[in-house]
Amino acid sequence: MRIDVDKQPRAELDADLALFEEMFSAKAAFFDELVEHRRDGATVEVSELRQETVYAIAHFFYLLKVFGIDGPDKLRNFALTHNQNMAELLEDKEELAKLGIQPQRLEGAFFNTDDNLDRLRLNCGTRGIRLSQSDLARFLVEFMSAETCRNAVAVLHDAGYLKRSRSAFGSVLISSNGGLEDIFAGYVRSFRLALNKQPGLALRSLRVVE
């Protein structure tokens, strides 16, 4: 979508600005909360917590919680849906070009064998979701590379939001202590409440003058 700013009524531009300010303020508050509630003794730099990769991982764990993906079978079904989404994206060359993602990167993001899916289920356990670092990177392939994902996980682990353990297969497992999802939930709620105070704000901001 593109609009000619010079042709927009002042009221429309003001509505757009108000929406943007609410979005910016809510996201800034999300990062403020992450910084404020990091564990005592954390050595991570504040700038490292204020990264889009950290935001994407928080968003991912938030979605797992709100969609009730809390056990091995649900996680397996989620992985199968992920496979389907990746297959569709691979077929959409135009969308791939827009995202700037090479097909080879997506091809490595499938849970494409029974062994992959079995390990995903076994790693998960029965007390919340646990994922290997490679499986987390598979789920987040549209947002970051595997190496970038590992770096962001290290930041969140040092800050006290993610826990690390070892699987029976020797891989590093990642789980959340719940704080990350709660902070993200607060961010989403604050933005929604801000919109509710200004009825029609979001709809007005999406209008386009031909």
CATH value at residue 32: 1.10.10.10
109-149 residue pLDDT tens:
999 888 899 999 999 977 779 999 999 999 999 999 999 99
22-76 residue pLDDT tens:
889 999 999 999 999 999 999 999 999 999 999 999 999 999 999 999 999 999 9
Measured CA to CA, the distance from residue 71 to residue 121 in angstroms comes to 8
Measured CA to CA, the distance from residue 47 to residue 209 in angstroms comes to 39
Is position 159 within any domain? yes
Is position 110 within any domain? no
Is position 113 within any domain? no
| pTM as predicted | 0.88
Measured CA to CA, the distance from residue 23 to residue 19 in angstroms comes to 6
* 95 pLDDT tier (thresholds 50, 70, 90): very high
Measured CA to CA, the distance from residue 81 to residue 115 in angstroms comes to 17
Q: How many domains does the chain have?
A: 1
- Please report the pLDDT score of residue 198 as a whole number: 60
**DSSP code for 110:** -
Q: Which domain holds residue 33?
A: 5-70+130-205
Is position 86 within any domain? no
Q: Which of 5-9, 35-39, 79-83 shows the lowest mean pLDDT across its residues?
A: 5-9
Please check the confidence at residue 207 and state whether its pLDDT lies above 50.
no
Our CA angle for 144, 97, 106, nearest 5°, is 45
177-200 residue pLDDT tens:
999 999 999 999 988 888 777 654
Provide the β-strand partners of residue 174.
131, 164
Please check the confidence at residue 82 and state whether its pLDDT lies above 90.
yes
Is position 102 within any domain? no
Is position 13 within any domain? yes
Phi–psi pair at 177, nearest 5 degrees: -85, 0
- Please report the pLDDT score of residue 83 as a whole number: 96
Helix (H, G, I), strand (E, B) or coil at 165: strand
Is position 123 within any domain? no
